[in-house]
Amino acid sequence: MPVSKGNILIVDDNKSILTSLDILLNPEFSFVKSLSNPGQILTELRKKEYNLVLLDMNFSAGMNNGNEGFYWLGRIKEFNPDISVVMITAYGDVDTAVRALKDGACDFVLKPWDNDKLLATLKLAIQLNLSKKEVKQLKDRESGLKNEINRDQREIIGSSQNILDVLKMARKVAKTNANVLITGENGTGKELIAREIHRLSDRSGELLVTVDMGAIPETLFESELFGHVKGAFTDARENRQGKFELADKGTLFLDEIGNLSFHMQSKLLAALQNREITRIGSNNIVPVDIRLICATNRNLDKMVKESLFREDLLYRINTIQIEIPPLRNRGNDIIELSDFFLKKFINKYGKTDLRVNNQAYDKLMRYSWPGNIRELQNTIEKAVILCDSSVIKPEDLYLKPPEENLAPEDILTLEAMEEKLINIAIEKNNGNLTAAAEQLGITRQTLYNKFRKNKTDVK
């Protein structure tokens, strides 16, 4: 017969009882230890890890009220609340058994015992202890994973008034549960601000779950956000938790929210309003408790006017709006960020003596950075890799030519770009408005309205 996993400590002042239990239990369990003096219990528990204590209730001659057993039960549970304790006595009644269970014992056995029943009781008690240990380990692992995932490995660099105002606003809203919309050009660091808000919030011990809304195909939107059950569709081979459930008690960060199709916006709005979701293929409603942060580089107010974004969804996600300034408006932050990236990449590529001269700094300051911080990081990394001397000079900085280096205010207006895209789509679809609208990701009616607004001549 295989030996059951588990270490047992037997405590009884009757030597013959100890001998009988030792003979019965030793072949059945990993380790069995006997004590006749209850005063040695805590010392023994410190020396070795036990899963179960089989504890007598009376140790002094003439005593049969069980108070000694209750005392030592309390001391054991105080030392280790998860250890299983089975009480054993020759003087048992219903009231004593009820009190033992109430005080933390997992079972109560009468002397003389039935061997098979005793073994079954002890095995169940050990399994209870092992289950508690496993749950604790899983919780510890979950906590460690959350800390690792949420660990802020990227710093927010800068001392300009623009970025200090942003950080001040982030700190102010972090302690609330208000929904936050972070706006700004690509590469300005919107996700960093979202992470900072989460880090400073009361939910920082839970997960920050990031979803790139622009990267989710419409056919997978519901599965990605709300999850699904096995067999819900062809490729649903197992149950899957959606991002909403994963972010429960934590923060859900929806990046590029402006890229979400009008149809999917209504499904998102329903989940946000009701604070509950239903997995695909299931009828069970799952309540969710999330803090919502969204980000976009698009003008959502303009999109609302053009019937491209739901006004009620905008109100829902935009309790507080934080606008991240473009890098060109952050002054000397360009130098601070350049030094930060320089230090990062000279360590990465082993060029410890490398520095940037003043002329190169001037070139960095004059550039308009259409790609913002992301472009600056790429520029410094490239300079570190390709520089052949110990000094990064202006010629080592590979920036876009002036004709390509256009700040957003130099680019065509959105209206002009929109009109151009509409004309291209119509031309490619040979004048078929339905096909053109589908390619543009809008309804045929919306496309027709835009024609009238832009006075586009459609033949």
With tokens 């081979």, the residue in question is 237
Which DSSP string do the residues of 370-431 spell out, in sequence order?
TTHHHHHHHHHHHHHHH--SSEE-GGG-----TTT---GGGSPPHHHHHHHHHHHHHHHTTT
- Higher pLDDT among residues 189 and 410, named by residue: 189
Residue-level pLDDT at 1: 45
The overall average pLDDT reported for the chain is 86
Domain 412-454: CATH class, spelled out: mainly alpha
Q: How far apart are CA 66 and CA 46, in angstroms?
A: 25
CA-wise closest residue to 243 among 282, 218, 285, 277:
277
| pLDDT tens track for 337-360 | 999 999 999 999 998 889 999 999
Q: How far apart are CA 225 and CA 444, in angstroms?
A: 28
Confidence of residue 150 (pLDDT cuts 50, 70, 90): low
In CATH terms, the fold of domain 327-408 is: Helicase, Ruva Protein; domain 3 (1.10.8)
Q: Would the pLDDT of 412 be above 70?
A: no
Q: Would the pLDDT of 459 be above 50?
A: no
Confidence of residue 64 (pLDDT cuts 50, 70, 90): confident
CATH architecture of 4-136: 3-Layer(aba) Sandwich (3.40)
| pLDDT tens track for 271-280 | 999 999 999 9
Tokens representing 292 are: 């919502």
Confidence of residue 291 (pLDDT cuts 50, 70, 90): very high
Tokens representing 413 are: 């207006």
CATH of 161-323, one of 3.40.50.720, 3.90.1150.150, 3.60.21.10, 3.40.50.300: 3.40.50.300
Q: What residue ranges do the domains of the chain occupy?
A: 4-136, 161-323, 327-408, 412-454
Bridge partner residues of 276 (DSSP):
287
Confidence of residue 454 (pLDDT cuts 50, 70, 90): low
- Common-topology check for domains 161-323 and 327-408: no
**DSSP code at position 108:** E
| pLDDT tens track for 72-106 | 999 999 998 889 999 888 876 777 778 888 888 98
- Higher pLDDT among residues 445 and 294, named by residue: 294
Confidence of residue 457 (pLDDT cuts 50, 70, 90): very low
